[in-house]
Homo-oligomer: A and B are copies of this chain.
Amino acid sequence: MSMAHMTTAGENEAARLDAEDPLAGFRERFVLPDDVIYLDGNSLGALPRATAARVQAVATAEWGTGLIRSWNSADWIGAPARVGAKIARLVGAAPHEVIVADSTSVNLYKLIVAALQSPLAKGRSVILSEPGNFPTDLYMIESAMATLGGRHRLELVPRDGLSDRMRDDVALVLLTHVHYKTAERYDMVAMTAAAHAAGALVCWDLSHSTGAVVLDLASARADFAVGCGYKFLNGGPGAPAFLYVAERHQSTVTSPLGGWMGHAQPFAFADQYAPAPGIARFLCGTPPILSMAALECGVDLHLEAEMALVEAKSRALATYFIDQVGARCGGHDLELIGPSRGAPRGSHVSWRHPQAYAVMQALIARGVIGDFRAPDAMRFGLTPLYLRFTDIAQAVEILAEVLTTRMYEAPRFQVRQAVT
């Protein structure tokens, strides 16, 4: 992917934007293959350079040599709260309001059931969300309702009708702050206030927001939140997730998964469960330390960057990307999905195309890695810590070529793989 051919005004602009980028220095902190333009860091964040060595040290020194002693001496036991407190700084929460545990899905279940069973939801039966929310959010609502015995009802209301639907039968509003496909972004302050005005609780899924946009759960007075470790936090494949419970709720809600690590005295080995004080009651089983160590590296790296700069660069990358696609890929049936140029958004850009799957396969074959999202979306993640404007310029160049030459029509790009 030589840049010798790049001479347009757009490309010169890219070089200028890179030169002015205050976050440019972060790129070298990541391992990135030379032959790839990685636009999928919102699905799996790239590997920080520090991580492999850290994971190696945890395996050989802490596990191999320290053995069982490392639960104390290397503070493995403190990892969920320690890493949680670091993530709290990225989401605008107090250190003791966030803990790392389990997966996003499991954490959703904990918080949905905890909310529905809390005194605050008494006499209310409706859970509000939107159609097309990330599937596992909707599935975990279904799961929670099924376990709780059919006393609740899920209503999926398109986002422009949500505020109107917030009435006094609503127990919980569960929304994904940045939409996984469209990058549409809720006004967290306004939406939380609307829910609270109706007496409802709010749980925010921050999976596509954390490490991508400025978050302030405290100002929004959010009740609950969950988020993912393996996207913008660069915690590694299947990294542990996190959850947030506002301090004011911590003594009144309990986890439906009251495992031994959430016990007030795990090592008293008592027959009866007694929840730990505070956020620790939302722990369940033993935390996966190798994966936790990788997550901590990703979070530590993020904490070096100012989130306002990260969000500003994300916005600039998106604007540049949209402009370049507009300028160079016209007449090829691409339709921008989600927020228009310059509007508030998350940190990815998606286009609809009748052959979205095949076009994405052709792009991947050319080294431009994005995501296909059924049925017809191509999604490109914009990760401000390791993407350059010149990467976007090259990606658009290759996209234009794939579309113009119709190389995506080759049979090898048309056959669907089982998974991506």
A374 contacts the other chain (Cβ, under 8 Å)? yes
A285 and B105 in contact, given A139-B263, A148-B149, A260-B136 (Cβ under 8 angstroms): yes
From the candidates B109, B238, B260, name the one contacting A286 in the complex (CB within 8 A). B238
B113 and A106 contact, CB distance less than 8 A = no
B420 and A68 contact, CB distance less than 8 A = yes
Docked complex Cα distance between A259 and B137 (Å): 8
| Chain A interface residue number, banded | 35 or more
Residues in B neighbouring A46, C-beta threshold 8 A: 64, 67
Q: How far apart are A259's CB and chain B's nearest CB, in angstroms?
A: 3
From the candidates B55, B140, B420, name the one contacting A71 in the complex (CB within 8 A). B420
A259 and B420 in contact, given A59-B52, A287-B238, A288-B238 (Cβ under 8 angstroms): no
Nearest residue, chain B, Cβ from A76: B237
Docked complex Cα distance between A33 and B61 (Å): 10
A198 contacts the other chain (Cβ, under 8 Å)? no
Docked complex Cα distance between A269 and B77 (Å): 36
A417 contacts the other chain (Cβ, under 8 Å)? yes
State the oligomeric state as a number of copies: 2
A354 contacts the other chain (Cβ, under 8 Å)? no
Per-residue CB contact flags for chain A residues 93-130 toward chain B (1 = under 8 Å, else 0) read 00000000011111001000100010000000000000
Residues in B neighbouring A64, C-beta threshold 8 A: 31, 33, 46-47, 52
Binds B, one of A4-12, A37-45, A245-253: A37-45
B256 and A147 contact, CB distance less than 8 A = yes
A149 and B146 in contact, given A55-B59, A236-B63, A290-B237 (Cβ under 8 angstroms): no
A67 and B288 contact, CB distance less than 8 A = no
A236 and B289 contact, CB distance less than 8 A = yes
Q: How far apart are A337's CB and chain B's nearest CB, in angstroms?
A: 14
Residues in B neighbouring A104, C-beta threshold 8 A: 285-286
Contact residues of A between 218 and 277, Cβ < 8 Å to B: 230, 236-241, 255-261, 263, 266-273
A196 contacts the other chain (Cβ, under 8 Å)? no
Residues in B neighbouring A134, C-beta threshold 8 A: 260, 269
A56 and B67 in contact, given A136-B285, A259-B139 (Cβ under 8 angstroms): no
8 contacts between A and B (CB under 8 A): A38-B67, A47-B60, A72-B419, A77-B419, A135-B260, A138-B272, A142-B273, A267-B420
Q: What 5 A-B pairs have minimum CB-CB distances, sorted nearest first? A: A103-B285, A105-B259, A105-B285, A237-B289, A136-B260
